[in-house]
Chain A
């Protein structure tokens, strides 16, 4: 053997290795493609699945098959597109197989019980952190020997404590159970498939494969970018876009969450918007004499130009909830934005203790809604609540010094005139802190020089606020108003907790759209109708936001200006 031959082999050996891996990947894609086609045949031949599931699975398998065929062709021709497709297919396949395996093994339900044993291992976990802390001290010492000793101590401590932690929480039991479950052929197959997907993913990702597939730096950067993006993107697709589309489909059915979904077309939407307006002879005329009361419920009656009218709706509660929601928005948005604007100006000054007050005002935003609502529930109690108590004390005091005031004894949550207002107070109080922080951030971006110039020009504080602060704060104001409006449109938790026995409130005065769709979907078995309400709400919110954007553009100060 000549030196030249040996050199040639040494050069060819890595390429041969790459070729081998690429061939393996191609073979895998052929198997995957055929398996996917076989899966489609099985789904339609014998699987006991709902039609929509069959369609969904078939589309997924069909895409896999097509992608695999294209990948084989491209990899064979050393086109980089083949690598990209192969990586995408294997990455998704790995995730599906991995999480599927975990599900079959029972890890997700097992995590619940991990909380029980976690406490037993907590002391060891603290030791792990202690070991890590020791490791962070190495930089403080100059001597290499000391640094080395600290590093080794840190590592040893972390490893020993880590092992002790896992033993304490029961890893030995978990390993035994896992080994037992691997005797199940389905689980074993899923684990093997997961491993193969992982292996093929690694084979195609590695640098030699990239070079063999003529990957450019741009290709690699693109793939890395998508890899980093993938958790969020997949989460969005599976947990947001997927359910969103499903709810759109459900809105065209009469699904009750348990039985079959019968297609009803636009019937749900028709029921929502079905209203009837009829003229009355007198404003007190019976509704049954003017509208078909077997279909419509009386929504309202009014007089205009001396004539009386009655409005009936097939779903009266939808319109009531829409009215309540819009009223809530009209009250809560100004009440949580305008005070926040003034508060942020106060908190923007540099005086002692200001950071403390900023934290205090922000606290309601980070506190749990449920806890807040429960506290307010007690405060609002008409008979023994603190709000009425203080009002009574104040009235008594004023009367004792010669006043003549009436103690209103406000029935905050049990009077249809005040119940929604009570919810507004809670929500505005809670949202104001967050809005204040947003305004504060906006204020701190306004150059001081503008105020100095205004001062030189003789502007007083109010003029500076009106002529400098407000215009330059417009993008922040727009953002705050838009997000608060959207939040207000979706009001639910505060109402649900504040009036627990009857969230709809006295005479349905706190029935909001989200509460209503919740009641329809989860309490009255009308998922289809609830989904239709959700989409109507979406359209309303979308329209309101679009309107705000257009107004913003028209005013000449877009958000990104």
Chain B
């Protein structure tokens, strides 16, 4: 075969592929929903359809926890695409094992290729808002009949309506919460029964579930064998934050403008947690991922959020349930974790994006996601909570709701400083204490000197 023919043929083929790529943008669109469009239970009056409105395409993204969630979000997107008049939706599942959701999103924001609507964790709201990356939706919300901030839990809404310029809340609207979650202790009931320890669920029902009884149960389970652990948590701010909060302490002072990690209460909470690792010696070593050994049946109590439920349902080959976190010296404590759908400040279609944010946070959509077990609806609605209780296992879903009811500390951004920097100072120092590499006194002497530098002058 002549070289000339081969060269010409390859060139024509390459040119042909370029031509095919010309039509690429249009071949992806117009995906028909596979199921009949469901009526959107609008939180507010459904956005009025504008006659003869030109169809716009909106890209939106969440961080799903598993393939089942991706499928549900995709079907939700398809349904809304046909329900929202004049809007064509393209759903993107963000994040993977090796590419951090936030890192990718931030890079895309820098490059100007981020989606129109996306989800971010509550701790990121301040950073995104103060840098002008997300849109203030307040004016559109005010003009939307039936919309009210009070439909959602006040904790997240405090931060989502915070105005960094005036320091007042209720003045802006940076997004709407996708869902909420709290911590619970996932219990291996088989290990519990084998240990003969009292059932934490009964202790909780009797008001006897506190740090002392927690240690009693954890020790009993831990004594079952060298490779069995009474308790496990993962190494990030949420788990150790509970111990600090439950002792009456906290990360920040009252108005979140300075570090409070060195107060007597905060130190007491951290010291107790240090004893769990160094004195009682009943926990999976701090820094090790506790989920694999828990799912392997080697951990009695695993502290994690609702998002761990799907994995436990699919992987645990033992009897399990959940119980609320034990009461600390300052009473019941928990976190209220949340994340929000926000609108890209550079979107070309803010009105449509706002409609999408509303549609994605309806009770109907939240119910569909919550039924998979990964989270709790963010709407203050008894119907939503009643519905949530039916999404079993675990049987004791009430434990998560009790966490919500007991005045949890709200996961929150740091409007007066830089949360990632604060976390970068706090995390290693706490880890050093829990691993026995630093004394509480040394920690107390230095932690806030370092952490206070991340606050705005």
Instruction: List A residues at the B interface (Cβ < 8 Å).
Output: 102, 105-114, 116-117, 128, 132, 135-136, 138, 151, 154-155, 158-159, 162, 165-166, 169-171, 173-178, 181, 256-259, 286-288, 293-294, 297-298, 316-317, 370, 374, 378, 381-384, 411, 413-416, 496-497, 500-502, 504, 506-508, 519, 522-525
Contact = CB atoms under 8 A, between A and B. Distances in A.
Given A411-B285, A501-B234, A109 B16 contact: no
Contacts of A170: 20, 23, 27
Interface in B417-444: 418, 420-421, 424, 427-428, 431-432, 435, 437
14 contacts: A114-B17, A170-B20, A178-B19, A258-B131, A258-B132, A259-B131, A294-B452, A294-B453, A381-B293, A383-B298, A502-B235, A506-B287, A506-B432, A524-B421
Contacts of A298: 446
Contact of B1 (A138, A415, A524, A525): A138
A138 to B, nearest CB: 7
Contacts of B21: 107-108, 110-111, 114, 174
Main secondary structure of the interface of A (DSSP, over half): helix
B288 interface: yes
B252 interface: no
B382 interface: no
Contacts of A374: 97-98
A501 B292 contact: no
Nearest to A317: B424
A166 B16 CA distance: 6
A171 B24 contact: no
Nearest to A135: B1
Contacts of B84: none
Nearest to B228: A383
Interface stretch (B100-108, B140-148, B160-168, B171-179): B100-108
A158 B9 contact: yes
Interface in B1-42: 1, 5-6, 9, 12-13, 16-28
Nearest to B299: A383
A214 to B, nearest CB: 31
A166 B23 CA distance: 12
Contact of A178 (B22, B103, B292, B452): B22
Contacts of B133: 258
B106 A173 contact: no
Contacts of B98: 370, 374, 496-497, 500
A320 to B, nearest CB: 9
Interface residues of B, number: 63
Contacts of A166: 13, 16-17, 19-20
B280 interface: no
A175 B452 CA distance: 61
Counting chain A CB atoms within 10 Å of each CB, the highest count among B132, B288, B450 belongs to B288
Given A107-B18, A174-B20, A177-B26, A414 B132 contact: no
Contacts of B431: 506-507
Contacts of B16: 162, 166, 171
B109 interface: yes
B391 interface: no
B285 A162 contact: no
Contacts of B24: 106-107, 109-114, 174
B284 interface: yes
A257 B106 contact: yes
B227 interface: yes
Contact of A155 (B1, B229, B421): B1
B132 A136 contact: no
A504 B418 CA distance: 18
B27 A383 contact: no
Contacts of B432: 416, 506-507
Nearest to B454: A524
Nearest to A503: B100
Contacts of A496: 98
Contact of A132 (B1, B106, B292): B1
A258 B437 CA distance: 39
A293 B447 CA distance: 11
Contacts of B26: 173, 177
Contact of B132 (A110, A154, A259, A497): A259
B235 A522 contact: no
Nearest to B1: A135
B1 A383 contact: no
A511 B263 CA distance: 29
A365 to B, nearest CB: 19
A175 B18 CA distance: 10
Nearest to B100: A523
B51 to A, nearest CB: 26
A501 B235 contact: yes
Nearest to A256: B131
A469 B435 CA distance: 48
Interface string B402-426: 0000000000000000101100100
B17 A169 contact: yes
Nearest to A493: B98
Contacts of A288: 445, 449
